[in-house]
Structure 1
Amino acid sequence: MAGPRIARVFGAVNIGSFRISAIVAGVSETGEMIVLGSGHRQSQGIKHGYVTDMAAATYAVRDAIDRAEKMADTSVQKVWIGCSGAGLASRIQPFDAEIGGRRIEQEDLDHLLVAARDAIEPDGRMVLHAQPAQYRLDGAHGVADPKGLHCERLGVDVHVMLADGAPIRNLTEAVQSAHLEVEAVVASPIATGQACLSPEERDLGVALVEFGAEVTNVALWSGGMLRDMVAIQMGSADITDAVASAFGIRRFQAERLKCVNGSAIASPHDHREMIPVNAPGEEDTGPIARHADDKNRIPRAELIGVITGQLGVLMEEVNKALKHMQFNGQRGKQVVFTGGGAELVGLADYAQAALGRPVRIGRMPHLAGLPEAHVKPGFSTLAGLVLYAADDPVDIRAFARGRHRTVSLGGIGMVGRIFQALKEYF
């Protein structure tokens, strides 16, 4: 039996410091998102979200997309790029216009968005996107579609995502050198929020913590939009380095210990459990660990002590970021962890105790065809990229150049927007 007919195909590449992952997905005629192929490989030429070796980064991007295309049995020419570094900064820019109590027409919305676009002041930085997040009618906030309503004063809140220009140009050049066109560069908190947060969470107020390898982004959502974000220049790779340093072993050994035997929560039996430093069949690989027995095993309690010690430093930085963004005043108190570092056993319980707030691990959305190996927090940004692409996001910078439709990011359901995109495409 033939599968559903694919109406549109999207390609996306998430460029991280630990791995580079790629996905090829399509939207069926019924509006369902279907993953056709996905792949990943170890990152090369990327440090803290910045390109440090153009040739190595280009090779890694090409390899990742080749794996996804091979699984999908189709190729893509354009991709959406996920970016977690490059000095990302989020800003909400309000703009208002007098209407005079009359009925709002489409022309009024067009003029409002063009004027809002012209009022953006990037202060010498690159604007990744400028999107209408919600409208305001006099004293009413959070209006999805004001057309047809009456008001004295019409306003719009525009979400502007800024980044440093040179790092973004390096990312796009690495992708273009891999013989791909760049559809857009998307800040990872936007894509990850699309994948891991419910509309209700985004409205009530939630802090999204992307626990990456070398960068941890703390993003604040409320009122249906991304309000603010802080980038912390540390991540799960710092835990790996701490383990390697504490036991005098190599990074690949420390990474395996962290992933296989590591935990953020100690138990009474940890001090009696001895864990092998090397994997089965690799007993003679690498040095003998410090504090190891004659079989090169270390106490699990010592490993967990090193992990929690480094986690404590990170949680202090996360707490500082939340206070800086005044998350204490938000109605919603929940913190959602995602990213590769969120796969550490017991992280939610540890973070909840350290932050004094409800914490959960971000769940991947159900996407048909997504391999089980990629249904993990570390791939949430990748899934969010294709969901974001299918959402047909509006950028007001291109509005006056032939785009005469406004979409409120917080007010229209995902399925409805996909159907709208299909209608326009055909």
Structure 2
Amino acid sequence: MDEHIVVGVDIGTTKVCAVVAAKNELGQINILGMGMAASDGLNRGVVVNIDRTVNAVRKAIEEAERAAGVEVHNVIVGIAGDHVQSFQSRGVVTIRSGEITQQDVQRLLEDTMQVSLPADREILHVIPQEFIVDGQDGVADPVGMSGVRMEANVHIITGLISAAKNIYRCIEKAGFQVADIVLEPLASSFAVLHDDEKEVGVALIDIGGGTTDIAVFEDHTIRHTAVIAVAGNKVTDDIGKGMSVMRDQAEQLKRQFGTALVDVADPNEQIEIPGIGGRPEKTIGRDALAQVIQPRMEEILEIASIEIKQRSEYGRHLGVGCVLTGGGSLIPGTAELAAEVLGMEARIGRPMGLSGGLVEEVSDPKFSTGVGLVLYGMRPEIIGGSTLSEDVRAESNDHNEGQTLMDRLAARMKSWFDEL
């Protein structure tokens, strides 16, 4: 088959999702298969139980393999968790030849990486914001330009080495190779944001089970990223405590009857709740359930608002407002509540940019990250880098058993910059 096949694996707090996609000679992207498994081996986006996570990863990928009719070897995996941090960095180099080459750009990006990081942290992504050639700013691609001095502003995203190592370990124990590791809010943005939104200014809020991921774009470039450890699971916990029901029942109530706005919940609509320990069933009004959900959703959106408006310093640049995605955004009324809390336009983002195959099955906000990972695999230039699929395949063939995972992580980052 003359197809380029990519597999994305979203290891979430509540689910592991695997998506298999292929790109044909016309450049169209088709979803060949999709698999999902319940995940209980993570806490707030970070692996806390290797064996449970390995089982969920294996189950999700095998389901996707069966649906697609292909054998999976390499996967692109997402990373999240409140350990993820981002900051701006700046570098400068001199140009000896007078004309800027790709090697000069690489030297400059390596210079921007000369930042002091704690021993337990690793750089995940270095994303150029703009280049400045001889004082002329706003340069998007300096290769081929004349100049003697080149500077760059970059966005550096870091994460805990142990968190990345545990994700690698889970994928490898499940019997697969890691082709690349991508920050989850970045991946989601590839699937749900339009190019014109990224140009005018938009904030992406991905409400998952364990974490809420944020990415702010302006002028086609990512300006700020953050991961918040308050998300959909907190809403479920509140329902469980407020309604005195078990966690599974609370999750079902949230999905079936939940709404994020008390004003739109019908007070006359009654919901039957099963009794615990042989106790009789009880009934509550749908508005009572909304009164439990709305305060927690407000809290999530208020923390997101602080991150977007204060910490990113780009709150005033968001011409089209915000886009909400992830499973947590499926609660009816979330977009309206977000518009009220953030004071800007809001819409629910669903995966797009797909041509055929299981498009309807994955056109749901909870699959945004999984679809985004395969879109990144098809077009790695969308964040200014390139995928390591080919490198890692070659590397895994010559891989000796004595090489540590840490060496491979270091080699991964080195390869990433070699290809820039």
Does the pair score TM above 0.5?
Answer: yes
Q: How does 1:191-270 map to 2 (within 5 A)?
A: 191-267=187-263, 270=266
* 1:71 positional shift: 0.4
Q: How does 1:19-418 map to 2 (within 5 A)?
A: 19-85=15-81, 87-99=83-95, 102-117=98-113, 119-124=114-119, 125-267=121-263, 270-277=266-273, 286=276, 296-322=282-308, 323-332=310-319, 334-367=321-354, 368-393=356-381, 394=385, 406=420
For 1:398 and 1:373, locate their aligned partners in 2 and report how far apart those are by CA, in whole Å.
33
Deviations 1:312-358 (A, max 9, x none): 22223222222222233425361211111011111100111122111
Distance 1:399 1:147, change over 3 A: farther
Deviations 1:254-297 (A, max 9, x none): 1111111111123467111112336xxxxxx75689xxxx7633
* 1:141 positional shift: 3.9
Distance 1:163 1:405, change over 3 A: closer
For 1:314 and 1:107, locate their aligned partners in 2 and report how far apart those are by CA, in whole Å.
44
Secondary structure class of the residue paired with 2:191: helix
* 1:382 positional shift: 0.5
For 1:399 and 1:52, locate their aligned partners in 2 and report how far apart those are by CA, in whole Å.
25
For 1:288 and 1:138, locate their aligned partners in 2 and report how far apart those are by CA, in whole Å.
77
For 2:102 and 2:337, locate their aligned partners in 1 and report how far apart those are by CA, in whole Å.
50
Instruction: Give the residue type in structure 2 aligned to 1:314.
Output: I
Contact persistence 1:103–1:149 (CA under 8 A): yes
Secondary structure class of the residue paired with 1:270: coil
* 1:180 positional shift: 0.7
User: How many pairs align?
Assistant: 391
Instruction: Give the residue type in structure 1 aligned to 2:14.
Output: F
Contact persistence 2:189–2:372 (CA under 8 A): yes
* 1:30 positional shift: 1.5
Deviations 1:222-248 (A, max 9, x none): 233222233221111111111111111
Name the residue aligned to 1:415: none
For 1:398 and 1:76, locate their aligned partners in 2 and report how far apart those are by CA, in whole Å.
20
Contact persistence 1:82–1:187 (CA under 8 A): yes
Mark the runs of 5 or more structure 1 residues left unpaired by the alignment: 279-284, 407-426
The farther-off stretch of 200-209 and 16-25 is 200-209
Distance 1:46 1:107, change over 3 A: closer
Instruction: Give the residue type in structure 1 aligned to 2:23.
Output: V
Instruction: Give the residue type in structure 1 aligned to 2:373.
Output: L
For 2:133 and 2:169, locate their aligned partners in 1 and report how far apart those are by CA, in whole Å.
42
For 2:369 and 2:327, locate their aligned partners in 1 and report how far apart those are by CA, in whole Å.
10
Contact persistence 1:86–1:164 (CA under 8 A): no
Contact persistence 1:271–1:301 (CA under 8 A): yes
Deviations 1:74-97 (A, max 9, x none): 011111111121611123322223
Contact persistence 1:216–1:231 (CA under 8 A): yes
For 2:262 and 2:415, locate their aligned partners in 1 and report how far apart those are by CA, in whole Å.
58
Instruction: Give the residue type in structure 1 aligned to 2:221.
Output: M
For 2:412 and 2:171, locate their aligned partners in 1 and report how far apart those are by CA, in whole Å.
23
Q: How does 1:4-23 map to 2 (within 5 A)?
A: 5-23=1-19
For 1:80 and 1:255, locate their aligned partners in 2 and report how far apart those are by CA, in whole Å.
29
Contact persistence 1:235–1:314 (CA under 8 A): yes
Distance 1:288 1:226, change over 3 A: farther
* 1:139 positional shift: 4.8
Q: Normalised by the size of structure 2, how large is the TM-score?
A: 0.84
For 1:230 and 1:210, locate their aligned partners in 2 and report how far apart those are by CA, in whole Å.
11
Mark the runs of 5 or more structure 2 residues left unpaired by the alignment: 389-410
* 1:371 positional shift: 4.6
Secondary structure class of the residue paired with 1:272: coil
Contact persistence 1:38–1:71 (CA under 8 A): yes
Instruction: Give the residue type in structure 2 aligned to 1:216.
Output: T
Instruction: Give the residue type in structure 2 aligned to 1:383.
Output: V
Instruction: Give the residue type in structure 2 aligned to 1:386.
Output: V
Distance 1:108 1:320, change over 3 A: closer
For 1:331 and 1:302, locate their aligned partners in 2 and report how far apart those are by CA, in whole Å.
35
Name the residue aligned to 2:402: none
Distance 1:35 1:121, change over 3 A: farther
Q: Normalised by the size of structure 1, how large is the TM-score?
A: 0.83
Contact persistence 1:288–1:296 (CA under 8 A): no
For 1:109 and 1:399, locate their aligned partners in 2 and report how far apart those are by CA, in whole Å.
16
RMSD: 2.7
